[in-house]
Amino acid sequence: MKATETKLKGCFFIEPNVLKDTRGYFFECFNQNKFNELIGKDIDFVQDNESFSSKGVLRGLHFQTGDYAQAKLVRVIKGKVLDVVVDMRKNSPTFGEHFSIELSEDNKKQLFVPRGFAHGFIVLSDTAIFSYKCDNFYNKASEQGLRYDDPSLGIDWRLPSNEFIISEKDLVLPTLSNIEL
């Protein structure tokens, strides 16, 4: 397993060691000790989530605040997505900057999203099964979000906007300049 820090401090993409043979493949998708050693931090995941979505579904950009802030380890089990994170840490030199990476069943990459980051993804394949581990429990009162098409972010979602499928909740999220942190 190999971890590479992105341009956003504390955010890593992780490449597992995939063993392939005539039967198929095997890889260790998570090992607490190795993971903590790779990122240089002790993270204890307490909740696993999974979603199924069709092509063009855009979920995000979401995060939780305060005592319920969450770090996440995300991956794609089936299909392909563009995964996007935005640094929402006010005192960070990369506040408001984003990073994106393609996660797929083929590349088996994972992304570690630290606390203080907004997170979202768009499905690029016909369907996708998306999995994420969280280090804190979901709390509706602590939920916040950032508008996916905020011009100050300039995120290229790789699909034409007329193909996006977005929840009503995500369509009314604030932009970075209007958000209260």
Active site residues: 62, 132
Cα dihedral value 6, 9, 12, 13, nearest 10: -20
> What are the tokens at 128?
């996708």
95 to 5, 31, 59, 117: CA distances (angstroms): 16, 30, 21, 9
Element (H, E) at 127: strand 127-134
CA dist 56 and 20 (Å) reads 31
**Rg over CA atoms, the chain:** 16
